[in-house]
Amino acid sequence: MILTVEVFGVIDENAYFFIDDATNHGFLIDPGAEADRLLKIANERNFTIEKILLTHGHFDHIGAVNEIQRALKIPVCMSKGGNYYAKDPAINCSAFVGDSIILDDVTCLPDYSEIALDANKNFSVKLIPAPGHTLDGAIYYSSKEGVAFVGDTIFCGSYGRVDLPGGSGRDLMTTIRDVVFALPDETILYTGHGLETTVAAEKTWY
């Protein structure tokens, strides 16, 4: 199952519980704010979160990570460029909104890593590199479930900004064309902000 939780910080953002129905174990993707609320949801629904997965290192996607990681004692996974953002409040832009977020305990994974649950090795996502919005952009794709968690790479009818550290309009358009649009048309895209969409729907905009 996928549970979308819109969290409210400086910028509203979508956090996702991606849960294996067979075991009730799963991943928490992009917990950007409201750590207490996310932990309460996990507790009330009896979710066992094995890993936090981050699509990229901007403050509005990582704001609740430290508190949740301390509470659950679980790994935090990013793409191989993640430390560039995780360690620097100026680069992750938290410094510019009156905060100073540093993630000290992050596992940076190689491109195309398969991330599986300990409780069920058949429940997994693939980390696909997706630069453009940031240098460390990642898409977490499950071919079995037909879903992709795309962060701020692409939105419903739009795409991520490219004017922040590490952003590149050329790289983002390449990622959308060669990565996102290479997924099956029926793939559901779970975005960092706003509504989910599909590959087929977004192809009509380009």
Which 3-state string (H, E, C) describes the chain? Answer: CEEEEEEECCCEEEEEEEECCCCCEEEEECCCCCHHHHHHHHHHCCCEEEEEECCCCCHHHHCCHHHHHHHHCCCEEEECCHHHHHCCCCCCCHHHHCCCCCCCCCEEECCCCEEECCCCCCCEEEEEECCCCCCCCEEEEECCCCEEEEECCEECCEECCCCCCCCCHHHHHHHHHHCHHHCCCCCEEEECCCCCEEHHHHHCCC
Q: Is the pTM of this model over 0.85?
A: yes
Q: What is the mean pLDDT of the chain?
A: 97
- The per-residue pLDDT for 133 is 98
Class for the domain spanning 2-203 = alpha beta
Instruction: Note the pLDDT tens digit of each residue in 144-201.
Output: 999 999 999 999 999 999 999 999 999 999 999 999 999 999 999 999 999 999 999 9
Instruction: Note the pLDDT tens digit of each residue in 54-75.
Output: 999 999 999 999 999 999 999 9
